Structure 1
Amino acid sequence: MKARDIIDLVVDAGSFESWDEPPLDVNPSPAYRDALGRAQDRSGVDEAVVTGEGTVRGRRVALVVCEFAFLAGSIGVAAAERVTAATERATASRLPLLASPTSGGTRMQEGTLAFVQMITISAAIAAHRDAGLPYLAYLRGPTTGGVFASWGSLAHVTAAEPGALVGFLGPRVYEALYGEPFPPGVQTAENLYRYGVIDGVVPPERVRLLVDRALRVLADPPTPDAAPVSAITDADAFDPEPAWESVLASRRPERPGVRLLLRHAATAQVPLSGTGQGSDDKTVLLSLARLRGTPCVLLGQDRDGQTMLHTMGPGALRDARRGMHLAEELGLPLVLVIDTLGAALSREAEEEGLAPEIARCISDLVTLDTPTVAVLLGQGTGGGALAFLAADRVLAAQNSWLAPLPPEGASAIVYRDTAHAPQLADEQGISAPELLRHGIVDAVIPENPDAATEPVDFVKRVGAAIAHELAALDALPATERRAARHARYRRLGAR
């Protein structure tokens, strides 16, 4: 597709205004000058990049779009200057930026001077992100080389065209250098999505919808609803119940999880995939969302992606840290949903640094500048749960629990059997009312009598409770909120 085709698919009709100035004169050789002239005639544009602004459902958006018909969308000094100038203008104007590259990479006719322009472009993108402004990318086939290794891989949300060739070293170059074809099926949009390098595969006619959904979270102001909140803050309000009953309830297959919460409490969402660094652990779900009208980054442990043989590994925790970083950079609150069988126990997990990743998650979370709310939705086992817990406010479902090990594991350590698991569940104080009594959680969301029997009503209550906490935290200055978070965890067990 041509650059203008993509622009016309995304922006409101008649809203696009070009920002392009005449391209820099790079003092080309006669042969290169002829090639530039032929490229202009063939493509209908004066360089490999078209820039400007338009509106998407009335919102102003800056655009940087490659034209592959112009020397294979390659980036030389003039094209790089156009990308950088447009990015800087978007930053100065506080506009979200949508890039749609399709390129063979660096323009070989300009050599090393063109090659290092990727640093210039990356610096401009970094400044845009540092300003807390959204950067979205839609990769069209092919996107390779220095473009994929710089501004094609720096977006908050990255999608690609179905079937697009996306990769670092182009297959023709690989074959010329190594004398054999590149392995098939690797450098495709679908494969990179599968491995968590990009967030999705989207046909061109749906890019406008993707941009609209992303900007509903990233750009539109909050519109919180006034749903009633039924969370309980007094531990004595609960009738005494064996903690083991909650353990059993939390393990019911039909118990609602984070996916149902998003379905019924989110008014908009953009699912993200993996870390963007080649790691995608299906035990964790990451999404941009408006939760009952409040924009946030939602990071949840997905009970549907876990089994006893497949629990949270280091990749899941790297996904989590991506979510934390996104929330802080975009100035959005972070919502964390805890529902885990525990972290992985395997040779691979140890060798890939599971324990250090848990430590980094705790450290990152406790020092975030953005508001944070954690929800203990079901099972809360071990370090995998603790990695998501250190929030400003912590809510717990009535039948949720938190423990260093599942009660059976604790029983095996203390009694060398699993028969004492119900007794250990009570003795360790793992139930939601006990967590509330000790100040580990701030409020308990009732189940009437079990979330598995009223899943939709239950997740709606959870959504209302989260939105209520987010609104209260938003009213606090960041320095006061961080000081309160530090004091909260400093006094646990010592008050």
Structure 2
Amino acid sequence: MSSRHRLSVHDLLDRVFDPGSFDSWDRPIDISGHPQDYRATLRRAAERAGTDESVVTGSARVHGRPVAVIANEFSFLAGSIGAAAADRIVHAVRRATAEGLPLVASTASGGTRMQEGTPAFVHMVTISRALMDHRDAGLPYLVHLRHPTTGGVLASWGSLGHITVAEPEALVAFLGPKVYEQLEGRPFPPGVQVGENLVQHGIIDAVVPTEDLPRLLDRTLGLLLDPPAPSTRRERPTPTTRRRSSWQSVELTREPDRPGVRDLLRHGSDAIVRLQGTDEGERDTAMLVAVARIDGVACVVIGQDRAHQSPSSPMGPAALREARRGMKLANQLRLPLVSVIDTPGAELSQRAEEGAIAGEIARCIAGMTTLTVPSVSVLLGQGCGGGALALLPADATIAAENAWLSPLPPEGASVIVHGDTTHAPQMVEQQKVSAFELMETGTVSRIIPETATDTPEDFADAVAASIGARLRELSGD
């Protein structure tokens, strides 16, 4: 992306926020204490940029929703952050916290201002501290990375959002490629330091064109802040008799066309914002993380995606770390958590062992058992081994009629007990894996009936109705 495509901060505000809604919070900048040559540099930068510093702050509305805004102007000394700009950011964050406003940051910066050196550099700590207080207040922080965002800005307030997106083809990097080439004597590998690649590596959540940003902000803020809407779904009564053996249920849940968590979100949610990866450089498509509104109730969803698990691509440690991101997000934003269990088992390999698969299962269980928000776990299909147990603990656990939970794949249990795989059907009966038996022992509180005529939409609707009912019970709505 060349500089001629770069929006000024004023153009950005006009395009993203409601017309005439931006109200500046900025105080005049005092440059009298700087050396004369630097004062002259700052004056020239202000004339060129049309702003008095590299950031502007204020309040605005997006589709009528009030937000606090921090936005870079790159043409003011490459959007760099000196002491005055940092103070302006901190003031805006503190005011947003005091007024209970969600915060939207749009970055375009080369990082810390070199003309001010270390005193400016350490201000990134002060900004980060203010943002942590904003998050501790349960307020959303949404980040929009523009071209380019590098250095100390990316390494502080540019990387602390609950949800982070970038504009198409934006350069997003810790070290700018020109600096790297001068220091190392060779160019940085192409295609690495761009938003699209960061999505693929689970560092940011999406690439979003500027014209789509208002709609995304509105949908996200609606999910995070709006009260529950009335239920639109009718819950099916728990079946009183079993219609299949446990082995028949196991076989049914292994059918390739059985609906999964994607169908639940596609047909059973009213709105959704997907998150990608751990935001720490890992991504495993076996785990889906989203903020969604299910039967009128907003929640964070972490779900094992049956469509992205296979013997050649099992659920690995990174998937469980993604799940823990969802747990953390639910706690921070004070939203209920819904975990969806549907896995033939966690990855068994050297890579998984060295990636701490057992430790990640333990940490997921610990995270689920210490949530500070209401939680519902859903046994949707296969529930095999520690990978399933990782998402099971919750205030309420519900199960689809044919869902099951076992310590190992039935064939594996058969090998341990009988020395062959042929006793798998007997093992599932012996181990009491079915939803009905789980209800008898108190693990499951409600069973969702399945019918032979269910379409994926019908099935998703029934599951969503049961999730919504449990969330309302837990919150007292």
Partner of 1:357: 360
Using the alignment, how far apart are the partners of 1:29 and 1:313 within structure 2?
56
Using the alignment, how far apart are the partners of 1:24 and 1:193 within structure 2?
40
Contact 2:246 2:433 (8 Å CA) reproduced:
yes
Contact 2:54 2:80 (8 Å CA) reproduced:
yes
Partner of 1:383: 386
Partner of 1:149: 155
Residue 257 of structure 1, aligned match among 248, 257, 260 = 260
With over 3 angstroms needed to count, the CA separation of the structure-2 counterparts of 1:83 and 1:458, relative to structure 1, is: same
Using the alignment, how far apart are the partners of 1:257 and 1:240 within structure 2?
21
With over 3 angstroms needed to count, the CA separation of the structure-2 counterparts of 1:116 and 1:418, relative to structure 1, is: same
1:372 aligns with 2:378: no
Using the alignment, how far apart are the partners of 2:416 and 2:162 within structure 1?
44
1:248 aligns with 2:251: yes
Partner of 1:468: 469
Partner of 1:35: 41
Residue 180 of structure 1, aligned match among 181, 186, 202 = 186
Q: CA deviation at 1:351?
A: 0.6
| Per-residue deviation, residues 108-161 of structure 1 (Å, max 9, x unmatched) | 000000000100100011110000000000000110000000000000000001
1:420 aligns with 2:423: yes
Contact 1:267 1:289 (8 Å CA) reproduced:
yes
Which deviates more from structure 2 when the two are superposed, residues 191-200 or residues 4-13? 4-13
1:102 aligns with 2:108: yes
Residue 321 of structure 2, aligned match among 318, 330, 353 = 318
Using the alignment, how far apart are the partners of 1:366 and 1:261 within structure 2?
24
Counterpart amino acid of 1:153? S
Residue 2 of structure 1, aligned match among 2, 5, 8 = 8
Using the alignment, how far apart are the partners of 1:197 and 1:377 within structure 2?
29
With over 3 angstroms needed to count, the CA separation of the structure-2 counterparts of 1:27 and 1:255, relative to structure 1, is: same
Which deviates more from structure 2 when the two are superposed, residues 74-83 or residues 305-314? 305-314
Using the alignment, how far apart are the partners of 2:182 and 2:242 within structure 1?
74
Partner of 1:407: 410
Contact 2:31 2:39 (8 Å CA) reproduced:
no
Partner secondary structure for residue 34 of structure 2: coil
Partner of 2:338: 335
Partner of 1:305: 308
Contact 2:398 2:446 (8 Å CA) reproduced:
yes
Contact 1:224 1:467 (8 Å CA) reproduced:
no
Residue 229 of structure 1, aligned match among 229, 235, 241 = 235
Residue 219 of structure 1, aligned match among 222, 225, 233 = 225
Partner of 1:491: none
Q: CA deviation at 1:224?
A: 3.2
Using the alignment, how far apart are the partners of 2:192 and 2:359 within structure 1?
30
The alignment yields a C-alpha RMSD, in angstroms, of 1.2
Partner of 2:61: 55
Partner of 1:486: none
Partner of 1:482: none
Using the alignment, how far apart are the partners of 2:200 and 2:458 within structure 1?
33
How do 1:267-278 and structure 2 match up within 5 A?
267-278=270-281
Which deviates more from structure 2 when the two are superposed, residues 459-468 or residues 18-27? 18-27
Which deviates more from structure 2 when the two are superposed, residues 344-353 or residues 16-25? 16-25
Q: CA deviation at 1:227?
A: 2.4
Contact 1:395 1:443 (8 Å CA) reproduced:
yes
Moved >3 Å (runs of 4+): none
Percent sequence identity over aligned pairs: 56
Using the alignment, how far apart are the partners of 1:240 and 1:139 within structure 2?
53
| Per-residue deviation, residues 339-384 of structure 1 (Å, max 9, x unmatched) | 0111100101101111011101101110111000000001001011
Using the alignment, how far apart are the partners of 2:373 and 2:43 within structure 1?
51
Q: Extract unaligned runs of 5+ from structure 1.
A: 477-495
Q: CA deviation at 1:24?
A: 3.9
Q: CA deviation at 1:321?
A: 0.5
Counterpart amino acid of 1:475? G
Contact 1:222 1:293 (8 Å CA) reproduced:
yes
Partner of 2:398: 395
Partner of 1:92: 98
Contact 1:377 1:396 (8 Å CA) reproduced:
yes
Using the alignment, how far apart are the partners of 1:392 and 1:102 within structure 2?
43
Counterpart amino acid of 2:456? P
Using the alignment, how far apart are the partners of 1:400 and 1:231 within structure 2?
16
Using the alignment, how far apart are the partners of 2:224 and 2:110 within structure 1?
31
Using the alignment, how far apart are the partners of 2:223 and 2:32 within structure 1?
41
Partner secondary structure for residue 395 of structure 1: strand
Q: CA deviation at 1:14?
A: 1.3
Partner secondary structure for residue 61 of structure 1: strand
Using the alignment, how far apart are the partners of 1:294 and 1:10 within structure 2?
27
Using the alignment, how far apart are the partners of 1:43 and 1:261 within structure 2?
48
Using the alignment, how far apart are the partners of 2:154 and 2:437 within structure 1?
51
Contact 1:231 1:465 (8 Å CA) reproduced:
no
Q: CA deviation at 1:240?
A: 5.6
Using the alignment, how far apart are the partners of 1:25 and 1:130 within structure 2?
34
Partner of 1:490: none
Counterpart amino acid of 2:31? D
Using the alignment, how far apart are the partners of 1:179 and 1:231 within structure 2?
69
TM-score, normalisation: structure 1: 0.94
Partner of 1:280: 283
With over 3 angstroms needed to count, the CA separation of the structure-2 counterparts of 1:259 and 1:188, relative to structure 1, is: same
Q: CA deviation at 1:441?
A: 0.5
Q: CA deviation at 1:449?
A: 2.9
Partner of 1:14: 20
